[in-house]
């Protein structure tokens, strides 16, 4: 009985310390022109607006398997390549650990950038989501009906043709990052 009395406070303390651990949100992207990186930065800004989460923002080439395994949420971004995911992003997804489904029940969200309207941003986001669903991830969309699949940006047509991503799309990115962070905190 005495051992149990000594053990219970230690158990309670260890649970408190574990509960204090901040959820990690990994924002991974591939960006050749810089547009997808700009949107990724906006998403990170939104996620960081929640003080109780940790955010790792990195190109896919710098994201490790350990990052994926320790993350509470993974937000993945790709530019549109002929209405498809960019080949380096598909290679990255193909490298994810699958045996035993270690990404199961992690939060997933997506974003994309494309040069024009109706050039494939939603197709890319849906394909990214399909890959996350295969891994058993729980998907989260953006915070408005206009960003239901995630965040996307038009970067090379009409009023949106610029080196800088338009503010309307950056706000959608911030909303997505904030929503993923809030969801990760709820699932903690």
Assigned domain for 81 exists: yes
Q: How confident is the model at residue 153 (pLDDT cuts 50, 70, 90)?
A: very high
Residue 144 within any structural domain of the chain = yes
- In this predicted structure, the answer to whether residue 7 has a pLDDT above a threshold of 90 is no
Q: pTM for the whole thing?
A: 0.89
Overall number of domains in the chain: 1
Q: Report yes or no on 16 lying in a domain.
A: no
Note the pLDDT of residue 20.
55
Higher pLDDT, 168 or 11: 168
Q: Is the residue at 8 inside a domain? A: no
Q: Is residue 2 part of a domain?
A: no
Which pLDDT tens digit goes with each residue over 32-58? 999 999 999 999 999 999 999 999 999
Whether pLDDT at 184 is above 90: yes
Q: Report if residue 5 sits inside a domain.
A: no
Q: Is the dihedral of CA 164, 166, 169, 174 positive or negative?
A: positive
Q: DSSP for 107-134? A: EEEEEEEESSTTSSHHHHHHHHHHHHHH
Mean of pLDDT values over 113-135: 95
Instruction: Give percent above pLDDT 90 in the chain.
Output: 83
Nearest to 85 by CA among 46, 117, 130, 48: 130
Task: Work out the burial of residue 57: count CB atoms within 10 Å of its CB; fewer than 13 is exposed, 13-18 middle, 19 or more buried.
Answer: buried
% of the chain exceeding 70 in pLDDT: 89
Element (H, E) at 46: helix 35-48
* Residue range of the domain that includes 32: 21-187
pLDDT in tens, 8-32: 454 444 444 445 589 999 999 999 9
Q: What is the per-residue pLDDT for 6?
A: 47
CATH number assigned to the domain comprising residue 71 = 3.40.50.360
Q: What is the pLDDT of residues 70-106, one digit of tens each?
A: 999 999 999 999 999 999 999 999 999 999 999 999 9
Q: In this model, does residue 1 exceed pLDDT 60?
A: no
pLDDT of residue 17: 47
d(CA 63, CA 67): 6
Contact present, 110 and 149 (Cβ < 8 Å): yes
């Amino acid at each position: 009985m005495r051992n149990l009395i000594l053990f219970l406070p230690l158990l309670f303390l260890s649970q408190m310390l574990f509960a204090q651990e901040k959820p990690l949100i990994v924002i991974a992207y591939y960006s050749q022109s810089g547009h997808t990186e700009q949107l990724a930065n906006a998403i990170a800004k939104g996620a960081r607006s929640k003080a109780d989460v940790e955010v790792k923002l990195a190109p896919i080439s710098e994201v490790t398997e350990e990052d994926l395994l320790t993350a509470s949420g993974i937000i993945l971004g790709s530019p549109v390549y002929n209405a498809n995911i960019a080949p380096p992003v598909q290679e990255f997804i193909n490298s994810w650990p699958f045996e035993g489904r270690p990404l199961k029940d992690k939060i997933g969200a997506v974003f994309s950038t494309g040069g024009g309207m109706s050039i494939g941003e939603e197709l890319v986001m849906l394909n990214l989501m399909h890959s996350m669903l295969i891994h058993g991830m729980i998907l989260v969309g953006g915070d408005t009906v206009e960003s239901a699949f995630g965040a996307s940006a038009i970067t090379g047509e009409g009023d949106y043709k610029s080196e800088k991503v338009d503010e309307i799309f950056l706000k959608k990115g911030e909303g997505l990052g904030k929503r993923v962070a809030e969801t990760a905190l709820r699932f903690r």
